[in-house]
């Protein structure tokens, strides 16, 4: 099939310089949702009609499977589809979608395509209690004969509850003829795509319909309010799918997934968690409240405690993270590693059963197993120009408030005394420390404030 996505609208009610179809829903542009859905249908041609915002729309997609057609000026939906016609194959049907209607599912579109076959015109319709503002489906003897827009409808037509969603499938050769014959003699002075219905009836082409599973599939975005409403609908759809898979969500209404979230069995997620990019959570992991997790792999039985930020990290099974921990890209943690409150780990590997429980920074480091990193320890990895590596071998104890000035290596089983500034390698199995000599001065008097 051919697929045409209409994405040329100005979106005045968005009150934004950004083209409407590029506003994000669940972390990606509205139009990207429609493109992703369209691709699941494996079209031969996929053309996006753009206009408002100039090249901002095509430049947002680095994808050579897409083609673009400019609509300028913008003279209505029928005129928009006409701009794509030179790129389409007349031998297959054409499906028309909308770049600001992001939640339509492949299953609904497959149903519409099946009803159209190769020679019928199929319309996605919906019956609603309040059809105000929508084009009405006019039937005679049960068959669709035309679609009338709200502003052009008479009183009896406005009473019709079946509405046009705008999504249609049509035989492409016929569609080309019908578009060429469109008139703009209507209340808006535009070339309506819906007018091809009457042309199809006149040509004896059968008009059929299909319905979506959910009204949310047909809802478009014209304002920030509608965008926010669709965001919650989408997130609830994601939450419901997770619940059906057996994930425990402490409050399904307080979950945001901006990417993909894959969960194993017996995973529990507390409130106000945000997942971005690709996140995998294995069996039995527990995610505490108010966590932000991006592009991460979380092992089985891991506990992520509240207010932790995890970005580009791999966490081994049964590890404990947080609260208030931050794992940055390149952090790779082994089994049963503990990363505690206000600890930051960046581009470092930490082997099994090592711990950094309080107020530490670990960057560009390789840490062995069974290591204890005390409170206030810092790997000083940056000299202002270059980054250097710290290597800590197995079973090392690093005392509190130590600075490890890279490049430096601490040998297996070594102990670094609290308050040490380590500038040279520390030998295995020994105590290394650097401190100023402690003194107590008898007779010393603390200064007092001079009264004026």
Question: Any idea which residues carry the catalytic annotation?
Answer: 358
Alpha-carbon dihedral of residues 37, 40, 42, 45, nearest 10 degrees? 10
Distance CA 186, CA 163 (A): 19
| CB 389 within 8 Å of CB 365 | yes
* CA-based torsion, 98, 99, 101, 102: positive or negative: positive
* CA-based torsion, 100, 102, 104, 106: positive or negative: positive
Strands 332-333 and 349-350: parallel
Burial class of 28 by CB neighbour count within 10 A (0 to 12, 13 to 18, 19+): middle
Query: Does the N-terminal peptide bond of residue 338 adopt cis geometry, omega within 30 degrees of 0?
Result: no
């Amino acid at each position: 099939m051919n697929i045409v996505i209409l994405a040329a609208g100005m979106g005045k009610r968005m009150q934004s310089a950004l083209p409407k179809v590029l506003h994000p829903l669940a972390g990606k542009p509205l139009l990207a949702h429609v493109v992703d859905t369209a691709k699941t249908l494996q079209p031969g041609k996929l053309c996006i009609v753009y206009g408002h915002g100039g090249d901002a729309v095509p430049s947002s997609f680095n994808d050579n499977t897409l083609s673009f057609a400019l609509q300028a000026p913008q003279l209505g939906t029928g005129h928009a589809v006409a701009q794509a016609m030179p790129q389409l194959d007349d031998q297959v049907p054409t499906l028309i979608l909308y770049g600001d209607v992001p939640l339509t599912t492949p299953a609904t579109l497959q149903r519409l395509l099946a009803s159209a076959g190769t020679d019928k015109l199929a319309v996605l319709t919906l019956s609603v209690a309040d059809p105000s503002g929508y084009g009405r489906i006019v039937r005679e003897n049960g068959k669709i004969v035309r679609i009338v827009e709200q502003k052009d409808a008479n009183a009896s037509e406005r009473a019709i509850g079946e509405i046009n969603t705008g999504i249609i499938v049509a035989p492409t050769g016929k569609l080309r003829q019908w578009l060429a014959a469109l008139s703009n003699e209507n209340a808006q002075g535009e070339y309506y795509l819906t007018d091809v219905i009457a042309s199809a009836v006149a040509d004896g082409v059968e008009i059929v319909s299909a319905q979506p599973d959910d009204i949310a599939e047909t809802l478009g975005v014209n304002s920030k309010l509608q965008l926010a409403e669709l965001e919650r609908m989408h997130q609830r759809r994601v939450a419901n799918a997770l619940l059906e898979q057996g994930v425990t969500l402490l409050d399904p209404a307080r979950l945001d997934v901006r990417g993909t979230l894959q969960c194993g069995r017996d995973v529990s997620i507390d409130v106000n968690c945000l997942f971005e990019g690709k996140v995998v959570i294995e069996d039995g992991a527990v995610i505490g409240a108010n966590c932000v997790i991006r592009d991460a792999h979380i092992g089985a039985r891991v506990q992520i405690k509240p207010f932790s930020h995890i970005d580009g990290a791999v966490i081994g099974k049964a590890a404990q993270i947080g609260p208030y921990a931050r794992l940055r890209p390149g952090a790779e943690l082994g089994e049963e590693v503990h990363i505690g409150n206000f600890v930051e780990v960046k581009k470092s590997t930490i082997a099994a059963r090592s711990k950094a429980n309080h107020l530490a920074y670990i960057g560009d480091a390789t840490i062995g197993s069974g290591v204890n990193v005390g409170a206030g320890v810092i790997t000083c990895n940056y000299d202002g120009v270059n980054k250097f590596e710290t290597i800590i071998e197995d079973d090392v104890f690093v005392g509190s408030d130590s600075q490890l000035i890279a490049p430096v290596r601490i040998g297996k089983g070594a102990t670094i005394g609290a308050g040490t500034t380590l500038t040279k390698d520390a030998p295995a199995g020994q105590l290394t420390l650097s401190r100023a000599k402690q003194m107590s001065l008898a007779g010393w008097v603390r200064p007092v404030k001079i009264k004026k």
